[in-house]
């Protein structure tokens, strides 16, 4: 067993255990933390399979934005522990139906070419030996900044306009609110600012 296969099984087992902890824990903060662990292990699996771009995007988008946003929302809302007792046997049929549908989707994607034997032959990409080749990130960067550079700039411009629009919409202009005017403060007469008063003893 090579180091790549060993790491694959290690990350795979951590992903399964962390996913199970996400849906079984009653504390919402702990569930989000285990969800972040699931995202890290999935990104590691994608990196082992040679999809560097998707691995880094998984870390940036899901771990760096969505999971942290979930964590802050849960911590700000201060979600208490749910005291309602749910019969787990009542949701068991729904879970089995979902597992059956997902299994059918996996078989459909693989074209029913599943090797149900003791030896499963998988084509791994040894990423340690790919130093002299172009990575996925470099190939996608070459395409984005050469062939699709205009579309890339247009997407950035649309995101900039949407960000400015969101800022403008959230700014409520109220005429009754007193605002600070720096120009009025700078042209004031500084001689009468401080006044000394003699108090009686």
Angle value at C-alpha 166, between 160 and 168, nearest 5 degrees: 100
At 107-148, the pLDDT tens digits run 777 665 544 444 555 555 565 565 666 777 778 888 888 888
Spatial separation of the C-alpha atoms in residues 38 and 19, rounded to whole Å? 6
Q: What is the mean pLDDT of residues 185-196?
A: 74
More confident position, 150 or 72: 150
Strands of 46-141, DSSP E: none
Spatial separation of the C-alpha atoms in residues 13 and 91, rounded to whole Å? 25
Spatial separation of the C-alpha atoms in residues 57 and 39, rounded to whole Å? 11
More confident position, 52 or 38: 38
Spatial separation of the C-alpha atoms in residues 44 and 141, rounded to whole Å? 21
pLDDT at 97: 92
Alpha helices (runs of H) in 25-148, residue ranges in sequence order: 28-48, 52-57, 68-77, 92-109, 136-142
| pLDDT band per the 50, 70, 90 thresholds, residue 158 | very high
At 161-183, the pLDDT tens digits run 988 887 787 676 666 767 777 88
Going from N- to C-terminal start, the domains of the chain cover 134-172
């Amino acid at each position: 067993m090579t180091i790549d296969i060993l790491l694959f099984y290690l990350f795979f087992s951590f992903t399964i255990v962390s996913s199970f902890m996400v849906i079984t824990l009653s504390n919402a903060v702990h569930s989000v933390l285990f969800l972040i662990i699931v995202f890290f292990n999935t990104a590691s699996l994608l990196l082992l399979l040679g999809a560097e771009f998707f691995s880094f995007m998984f870390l940036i988008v899901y771990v760096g934005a969505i999971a942290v946003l979930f964590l802050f929302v849960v911590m700000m809302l201060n979600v208490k522990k749910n005291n309602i007792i749910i019969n787990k046997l009542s949701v068991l049929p729904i879970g089995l139906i979902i597992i059956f549908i997902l299994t059918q989707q996996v078989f459909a994607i693989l074209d029913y070419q599943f090797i149900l034997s003791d030896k499963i032959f998988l084509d791994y990409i040894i990423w340690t030996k790919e130093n002299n080749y172009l990575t996925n990130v470099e190939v996608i960067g070459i395409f984005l900044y050469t062939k699709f550079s205009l579309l890339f700039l247009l997407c950035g411009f649309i995101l900039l306009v949407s960000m400015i629009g969101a800022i403008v919409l959230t700014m409520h202009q109220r005429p009754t609110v007193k605002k600070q005017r720096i120009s009025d403060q700078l042209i004031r007469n500084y001689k009468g600012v401080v006044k000394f008063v003699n108090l009686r003893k």
